[in-house]
Structure 1
Amino acid sequence: MYDAELMAVATGAAGTLVAAIAASGAEKMRLKVAHFFRRATPAQQRAATQAVDDTAAQLTSPTPETQALAATAWAQLIAQYLAEHRDALSEVDGIGVPTPPTSKVWNQHNTGTGTFIGGDVHGGMTFNYGGAPDGGR
């Protein structure tokens, strides 16, 4: 059996992870889980990846019971991993936080003369899709 502190950490992380899978989906959380379980054996890594898919399938029509069952399963999986890899304790807080999407930036610069509605046009536009504004660059 695991000590109380380890189970408390694992239970908290499991609840957060289940909520993140429900909100963000399995695709976004799969890489986060794989990164967290990177020190595990290949069998443990496969179990964690499969658990993401299983949790997502369970949560297609979530009820408090299915969420509790999924959180209990994750708590056991995380506790076992943390018992073997205590150095992963510092990373457990981030396991349930989905990675924000990367920003895609396109720049367009327009210069020209001729018949424009307001005269000559000089300037450009920046599209920052999927990320935070870059401070008016």
Structure 2
Amino acid sequence: MTFRPALALVAHDAKKDDMVAFARAHVDRLAGFDLYATGTTGARVSEACPRLPVTRLKSGPLGGDQQIGAMIAEGRLDGLVFFVDPLSPMPHDVDVKALTRLALVYDIPMALNRCTADMMIGSPRLGAAPRS
């Protein structure tokens, strides 16, 4: 069986266009990942990049952030791209903090903006070895 690294994609409302642009720019690289995304983010990426199979979870505020967190804790994700909108009030700010904490605890790469995500996805180390 071939190892396919897993990557989660999450974006706040004001950053969904940025996530779509990121996916379009890296469609060839992302095609080598098992992709998971919260509800609307996953729908937008799937619509813009139909060749990318994205497993859609619940919307972030309805539990999708917790689903991603559980996947991190279970060792099922190799990276997290979470485009956070720092200029809008965040009613689910605790979810952002929880995902950040889990990514740190379980030592997975996490990008919170486009520049960092571009560098992360270009790294040959991202998903280079099977999860333990």
Task: Confirm or deny a common fold (TM above 0.5).
Answer: no
Higher CA-based Rg: 1
- Larger helix proportion, structure 1 or 2? 1
- Report the TM-score when normalising by structure 2: 0.29
- Report the TM-score when normalising by structure 1: 0.29
